[in-house]
A and B are shown apart, each in its own frame.
Chain A
Amino acid sequence: MNLHKSPKLADMLAGAYVLGTLRGRARRRFTQMLHNRPWLAARVAEWEDVLMPLSLRAQPIPPPRSVWQGVQAELPKKSSVAAQGKLVWWQKLGVWRSLSAGLSIALVVLLLWPTPPQMPYMAVLNNRSGQAVWMLRANTHHMALVTMHAMPLPPDKSLQLWAIVPGKKPISMGLLPTSPGRTPVLSTPDHLDMRTVSLIAVTMEPAGGSPTGQPTSAILYKASVLSTQLSS
């Protein structure tokens, strides 16, 4: 399709792109085209300039603080090169930072995958009103957690996540973040094999996590770990 020869069509597509009605493959293709066709990008820019002001609503709403924290954690660090690798790591952990270093329950981060690996297992933890608060995705030995809602807690408490393997004692998977965000891909603690985990559960523990390494209170929330893979 030579869009140069049909400026009206090009303009329509640019409009539909900005409007959002251009979807799926067509949108992806159009996005590709934008990269090497400055004149088309200019059309898009024109539409953006006229349409975007509309989406800037009268009433500004400040985003949750976690947004800037997340952004900041992803920015290149200004620290010395030698320390950089480690710093980026722990910075990236962001919400997991509340873990105190010496705790045996701490999640030890072993590996950050350059690209997200396949995560065929998942579990969604709902709060009492049925709202999904955390989503865990995992493969055999890695996991990542998305926190979808803030979960306010007293300062002297932490929420701790446990893996329940039938016939075994609960295994700590670390402390749960309490504000919206995403963790990077983390290794499962103690090389826990997620295929054996039937349930995950949350208990409220003293700040920093259970002093005994086992849950010290009743289960607040739990969820089954489901496989999204078709069994062969």
Chain B
Amino acid sequence: MLEVDALEKLLRRVAQADQEAFRQFYDATSAHLYPVALRILREEGRAAESLQDAFMKIWLKAGEYQSGRGAPLAWAAAIVRYQAIDDLRRLPKDQPGWEDEDWDRWGEPNSHAERALESEKQRLQDCLKQLPSEQRQAISQAFYRAASYEEVARFAGEALGTVKSWIRRGLLTLRDCLHHESA
């Protein structure tokens, strides 16, 4: 269902305002994208609203997707994620319910995802494993929860500056590792 080629083809049609193609793209991807918003906004009503806005952006921006980039789902997930981050910022500040589950599960195989995503994921996981645990956890908190530096710092019980530098150094190492891996 989530064939990269098929999704790219649909996006090309969406870019030409083909509503039927858009419907098909929605049907193929929405169940994968909804959890992205849900994860960040942590509440179904908000996540649903945010997803709706994100799909409107997907409709409008389909022409910006570069065919052959090979990751239509990742492209759409990014739009959903940015929308959710924007929506999160509009909410009154509440204490996020931190959970440890996520980074423990990063290594688990994922039977549903596309194979292409799978290899990317594997590559990233291999690189993440090379990070010191505090950097890895800070990055995964920031990533999964769309947590701010302040929230990650509060959770970790560390100074803001420390957490910022963990994340910066972590990203740099990640970057180098990913470049190295792909080279």
Chain A interface (Cβ < 8 Å from any Cβ of B): 8, 11-12, 15-16, 18-21, 23, 45, 48-64, 66-68, 70-71, 74-76, 78, 146-150, 180-182
Q: List CB contacts (< 8 Å) of B134-181 with chain A.
A: 139, 142-144, 146-149, 152, 167-168, 171-172, 174-175, 178
Given the contacts A20-B143, A60-B31, A148 and B46 also touching, CB distance less than 8 Å: yes
Which single residue of chain B is at the shortest CB-CB distance from A62? B31
Which single residue of chain A is at the shortest CB-CB distance from B85? A20
A45 to B120, CA, bound (A): 14
What is the predominant secondary structure among interface residues of chain B facing chain A? helix
Instruction: Check B32 against A149 for contact (C-beta < 8 Å).
Output: no
Q: Which of B22, B36, B139, B171 contacts A12 (CB 8 A)?
A: B171
The interface residues of chain B lying within 8 Å CB-to-CB of A11 are: 175
The interface residues of chain A lying within 8 Å CB-to-CB of B43 are: 148
Give the residue among B59, B117, B171 with the most A Cβ atoms within 10 A. Answer: B171
The 9 closest A-B pairs by CB, nearest first: A60-B31, A52-B74, A148-B45, A63-B34, A53-B117, A180-B45, A20-B146, A48-B78, A15-B171
A16 to B43, CA, bound (A): 24
Chain B interface (Cβ < 8 Å from any Cβ of A): 17, 19, 22-23, 26, 30-36, 38-39, 43-49, 51-52, 55-56, 59, 66, 69-71, 73-75, 77-78, 81, 85, 89, 106, 108, 110-113, 117-118, 120-121, 123-124, 139, 142-144, 146-149, 152, 167-168, 171-172, 174-175, 178
Closest CB in chain B relative to A68 CB, distance in Å:
6
A15 to B22, CA, bound (A): 29
Instruction: Check B36 against A182 for contact (C-beta < 8 Å).
Output: no
Question: What 9 additional pairs, Cβ within 8 angstroms, besides A71-B56, A74-B56?
Answer: A15-B174, A21-B142, A21-B148, A45-B75, A48-B71, A54-B143, A55-B143, A60-B35, A67-B52
A148 to B121, CA, bound (A): 34
A52 to B39, CA, bound (A): 13
Closest CB in chain A relative to B141 CB, distance in Å:
10
